[in-house]
Amino acid sequence: MTITLSGITKTFGDFTAVHPLDLTVPEGSFFALLGASGCGKTTTLRMIAGLEEPTSGTILLGDDDITHLPPHKRPVNTVFQNYALFPHLDVSENIAFGLRRRGVKSVSKQVAEMLDLVQLGDMARRKPRQLSGGQQQRVALARALINRPQVLLLDEPLGALDLKLRRQMQLELKRIQTEVGITFVHVTHDQEEAMTMADSVAVMYGGRVEQLGPPAELYENPRSTFVANFLGTSNLIEAQVVSGATAESDELRLRTVGDDTALRLPAARCAVEGVEEGAKVLVGVRPEKISLTHTDGPDTASESVAEGAPAPAGVPAGVPEGHNRLTGRITDASYLGVSWQYLIETPACSELTVYEQNVARDSRLTPGAHVVLHWRPEHTFALDAAQDAAAGEEAI
Amino acid sequence: MTAVAPPSPSGPASAGAAPPAGKDPDGAVAEAGAGRARRGLTPYWLLLPAGLWLAVFFVAPLFYQASTSVQSGSLEEGFRVTWQFSNYTDALGTYGEHFVRSFCYAAVATALCLFIGYPLAYMIALRAGRWRNLVLVMVIAPFFTSFLIRTLAWKTILSDGGPVVGALSSLHILDVTHWLGLTADDRVLATPLAVVCGLTYNFLPFMILPLYSSLERIDTSLLEAARDLYAKPSTTFRKVTFPLSLPGVVAGTLLTFIPASGDYINAQLLGSPSEQMVGNAIQKQFLNVLDYPTAAAMSFILMALILLMVSVYMRKAGTEELV
């Protein structure tokens, strides 16, 4: 069922955990609240569960106002961060807890079904402390799901698991969600987890929703530096607008502040409304979108930077025409297995990160080598330069 | 069982009863063989003071007492071991009523302690917030005054014509307690009620502290989980909070019931001869009648009965299943 939060706030003393928040979680979706610790995501979840009373605002479940309903009267269940399994009850009694409280007499069939769903059939008589972390996690999930809640809330459910198990559980959670078709609201600080599992992600920062959308949109076209840095890595370059979109072209033309290199990007990918000539922006590009081409020195490459269409003569061999280009020098190269990570010093920006697929690598790309960095204009995005360019970086 | 260490006579002994586990840190590999041997012996050295203490002040007196309990004779002629087991049957025959009374008073006092102590421990552990430490200190504060003085104070509180008697009388509660056989002749002092009140008061902290410690350890997210899973507040208490506090309930009831059954101060100061407990009888046999064998036999009977009741109770409570 659809959850609608309107104007929800929560303050603890003089600390505001959640600023006025409007959020709609569509029915049947897998919705992630993503953010660093202290961003208000768990508080938001707890307000939906009824464990925290909102300071103001309303929460609708479908058309029903549940803002002031106590938790035991809400058709909503939670998978807690530390699972919160009852240590004095065995696995099947833990799972049956909700049904029994609602007066269901014969629970054994449903419990058995749930144990099958989470693949714990032979653990029914164990006590929680006799289970591994992953098994406990699945019991917690079964204990919530057996009640067929309208909405299932998951509070960092995979936080305590190791990486491999977490990956496995991510797929499993996604499978179960597709199978039961219940609305899932998932709180996490792990951007990868949010992107793998959720249909839509709300990135929260300082008690506010920074950006909301499908994972690919958030990643490809972040609208703030926090989103750009918190989801993956971004290279942010200071630049100045040369000309805005015109009738014949919807491209923005820019110049880097550092070395006056021309850059272009589609106007739709600029997060700043109605940019004017001379306005400062932060130009962003994801490290894996950038290609590197080796050059012999800085002189041969920089000539190419001419007004408007670059002169073909100055384009080093192997750099496609129409790409955005920067020149630089490799300062560091590290092998990551699937890719190489390069740190590149450019006049436009002190340090750029580039990931190159580990296929047919140019062996001349070693620290000290001069390179041309180039990428498609449509992989470029532009953000308001008034923000902190490093927001969200240290949060990971 | 919950590990609250109340001030008790066995304090020094129990402190040594849990030696550090004989773990073998990796660093020991590099150590010389002598060092390793010394380290291996360390736990035993640490056990030694407690072991000696127990041997001298517990095991030896126990054996001495056991031998006394089967002796016969008199103070003038001297006592000799004659395997006189009739000491036990005689003691039970003569003082059976005292045993029954002791266990009844102790049981009622324990139940009262539980009813008074549980809500208080619950409030301290889960609701007191920043007042928690202050309230805990107030619970322990009576220990700063001697047991005897506190019991004597109760004698004043419950005295004839005192405020308690007046209030109970005007509220007609005395009529009820009189009808129940707890009080007589419009007085509270020198009645079963007074003795039970004294026992309850004196042993209440021993109930509250273990209860507090087990309630305080309950993960509050479990209570949230219960509420989230459709349990009303009362059901949450019944199905989650109370079962999880059972180790504290068991520890508290034992720490209250055992010393209360052997207590003689309260019956001595607040009761009359008809409220004498088995502790009073033993004291009289040892110190007034000087019939050591009977006194020793009664001590053993008391110990055996308590052990029996405690082991049945522990089995019923089944606390080993709990965390």
Least confident range from A69-78, A318-327, B90-99: namely A318-327
Query: In what side-by-side order are the strands of the sheet with A352-357?
Result: A291-295, A370-375, A324-335, A339-345, A352-357
Render pLDDT for B298-311 as a digit per residue (tens, 0 to 9): 999 999 999 999 99
Backbone angles phi, psi at B279, to 5 degrees: -60, -40
Backbone angles phi, psi at A339, to 5 degrees: -150, 175
B-chain CB neighbours of A76 within 8 Å are: 228
Interacting residues of B221 by C-beta distance below 8 A, sequence separation 6+: A80, A81, A82, A84
Token representation of residue B135: 């309230």
Interacting residues of B54 by C-beta distance below 8 A, sequence separation 6+: B13
B-chain CB neighbours of A127 within 8 Å are: 321
User: What pLDDT, on the 0 to 100 scale, is given for residue B34?
Assistant: 65
**A10, A17 contact by CB (below 8 A):** yes
CA angle A55, A57, A60 (to 5 degrees): 125
Tokens 């607008």 found at: A241
Q: Is residue A311 predicted with pLDDT exceeding 50?
A: no
Given its phi and psi angles, is residue A103 left (phi above 0), alpha (psi -120 to 50 degrees) or beta? left
Backbone angles phi, psi at A12, to 5 degrees: -115, 110
Is B221 near chain A, with CB under 8 Å? yes
Residue B322: which pLDDT band, with cuts at 50, 70 and 90? very low
Residue A306: which pLDDT band, with cuts at 50, 70 and 90? very low
Render pLDDT for A90-135 as a digit per residue (tens, 0 to 9): 999 999 999 999 999 889 999 999 998 888 889 999 999 999 988 9
B-chain CB neighbours of A71 within 8 Å are: 224, 227-228
Token representation of residue B152: 């004597």
Render pLDDT for B106-155 as a digit per residue (tens, 0 to 9): 999 999 999 999 999 999 999 988 999 999 999 999 889 999 999 999 99
Highest mean pLDDT among A176-180, A381-385, B115-119: B115-119
A-chain CB neighbours of B323 within 8 Å are: 87-88, 129
User: What pLDDT, on the 0 to 100 scale, is given for residue B318?
Assistant: 65
Q: Is residue A384 predicted with pLDDT exceeding 80?
A: yes
Q: Is residue B13 predicted with pLDDT exceeding 60?
A: no
A-chain CB neighbours of B222 within 8 Å are: 84, 86-87
**B89, B293 contact by CB (below 8 A):** no
Question: CA-to-CA distance for A56 and A67, rounded, in angstroms?
Answer: 9
Residue B73: which pLDDT band, with cuts at 50, 70 and 90? confident
User: What pLDDT, on the 0 to 100 scale, is given for residue A67?
Assistant: 94
Please tell me whether residue A222 adopts helix, strand or coil conformation. coil
Separation in Å, CA B97 to CA A53, B256, B274: 59, 21, 10
Element counts in chain A: helices (H) and strands (E): 9, 20
Interacting residues of B177 by C-beta distance below 8 A, sequence separation 6+: B168, B183, B191, B193
User: What pLDDT, on the 0 to 100 scale, is given for residue A243?
Assistant: 80
Is A98 near chain B, with CB under 8 Å? yes
User: What pLDDT, on the 0 to 100 scale, is given for residue B14?
Assistant: 41
**B91, B296 contact by CB (below 8 A):** no
Least confident range from A214-223, A237-246, A261-270, A300-309: namely A300-309
Sign of the dihedral through C-alpha A99, A100, A104, A105:
positive
Question: CA-to-CA distance for A267 and A251, rounded, in angstroms?
Answer: 5
The whole-angstrom distance between B225's CA and the closest CA on chain A is 6
Mean pLDDT score, A78-97? 94
Token representation of residue B244: 């999880």
Question: CA-to-CA distance for B108 and B102, rounded, in angstroms?
Answer: 10
User: What pLDDT, on the 0 to 100 scale, is given for residue A333?
Assistant: 92
**A377, A325 contact by CB (below 8 A):** no
Beta-bridge mates of residue A161: none
List the single best residue of B219, B221, B229 to mutate versus A (max A Cβ within 10 A): B229
**A61, A150 contact by CB (below 8 A):** yes
Nearest chain A alpha carbon to B246: A88
List the single best residue of B219, B228, B322, B323 to mutate versus A (max A Cβ within 10 A): B228
Beta-carbon contacts below 8 Å between A and B: 68
B-chain CB neighbours of A70 within 8 Å are: 227
Instruction: Report the percent of chain B where pLDDT is more than 90.
Output: 64
Contact B228 A77 (CB under 8 A): yes
Contact B227 A143 (CB under 8 A): no
**B46, B38 contact by CB (below 8 A):** no
Is B249 near chain A, with CB under 8 Å? no
Beta-bridge mates of residue A203: A34, A211
List the single best residue of A78, A83, A85, A114 to mutate versus B (max B Cβ within 10 A): A78
Q: Is residue B170 predicted with pLDDT exceeding 70?
A: yes
Is B146 near chain A, with CB under 8 Å? no
List the single best residue of A42, A82, A101 to mutate versus B (max B Cβ within 10 A): A101
Mean pLDDT score, B269-289? 92
Q: Is residue A391 predicted with pLDDT exceeding 60?
A: yes
User: What pLDDT, on the 0 to 100 scale, is given for residue B3?
Assistant: 42
Is B76 near chain A, with CB under 8 Å? no
Mean pLDDT score, A74-97? 94
Interacting residues of A346 by C-beta distance below 8 A, sequence separation 6+: A258, A259, A326, A327, A328, A329, A352, A373
Question: CA-to-CA distance for A376 and A371, rounded, in angstroms?
Answer: 17
CA angle A142, A144, A147 (to 5 degrees): 100
B-chain CB neighbours of A149 within 8 Å are: none
Task: List the CATH code of the domain at B87-321.
Answer: 1.10.3720.10
Q: Is residue B98 predicted with pLDDT exceeding 90?
A: yes
Cα-only R_g, chain B:
24
- Which of B225, B240, B244 lies at the smallest CB-CB distance from A80? B225
Mean pLDDT score, A352-381? 89
Beta-bridge mates of residue A383: A282
Backbone angles phi, psi at B289, to 5 degrees: -75, -25
Q: Is residue A263 predicted with pLDDT exceeding 70?
A: yes
- Which of B221, B240, B322 lies at the smallest CB-CB distance from A80? B221
Question: CA-to-CA distance for B278 and B213, rounded, in angstroms?
Answer: 32
Q: Is residue B233 predicted with pLDDT exceeding 50?
A: yes
Q: Which residue has the higher pLDDT, A157 or B35?
A: A157
Token representation of residue B286: 């040892």
The whole-angstrom distance between A192's CA and the closest CA on chain B is 27
User: What pLDDT, on the 0 to 100 scale, is given for residue B319?
Assistant: 57
Indicate the average pLDDT of chain A. 87
Residue B8: which pLDDT band, with cuts at 50, 70 and 90? very low
Please tell me whether residue B266 adopts helix, strand or coil conformation. helix
Q: Is residue B2 predicted with pLDDT exceeding 70?
A: no
Q: Which domains does chain A have, with CATH numbers?
A: 3-226 (3.40.50.300), 227-384 (2.40.50.100)
User: What pLDDT, on the 0 to 100 scale, is given for residue A252?
Assistant: 86
User: What pLDDT, on the 0 to 100 scale, is given for residue A308?
Assistant: 42
User: What pLDDT, on the 0 to 100 scale, is given for residue A317?
Assistant: 67
Q: Is residue B217 predicted with pLDDT exceeding 80?
A: yes
Q: Is residue A302 predicted with pLDDT exceeding 70?
A: no
The whole-angstrom distance between A92's CA and the closest CA on chain B is 14
Question: CA-to-CA distance for A327 and A299, rounded, in angstroms?
Answer: 10
Q: Is residue B9 predicted with pLDDT exceeding 70?
A: no
Specify the pTM.
0.80
Q: Is residue A188 predicted with pLDDT exceeding 90?
A: yes
Residue ranges of domains in chain B: 11-69, 87-321
Contact B229 A84 (CB under 8 A): no
Indicate the average pLDDT of chain B. 86
User: What pLDDT, on the 0 to 100 scale, is given for residue A394?
Assistant: 64
B274-289 in b/e burial notation, b at 16+ Cβ within 10 A? ebbbbbbbbbbbbeee
Q: Is residue B4 predicted with pLDDT exceeding 60?
A: no
Could you give the dihedral angle defined by the CA atoms of residues A96, A102, A105 and A106, in that order, rounded to the nearest 10 degrees? -40
CA angle A229, A235, A238 (to 5 degrees): 110
Q: Which residue has the higher pLDDT, B35 or B119?
A: B119
Q: Which one-letter amino acid corresponds to residue A193?
A: E
Q: Is residue B210 predicted with pLDDT exceeding 90?
A: yes
Contact B221 A84 (CB under 8 A): yes
**A158, A170 contact by CB (below 8 A):** yes
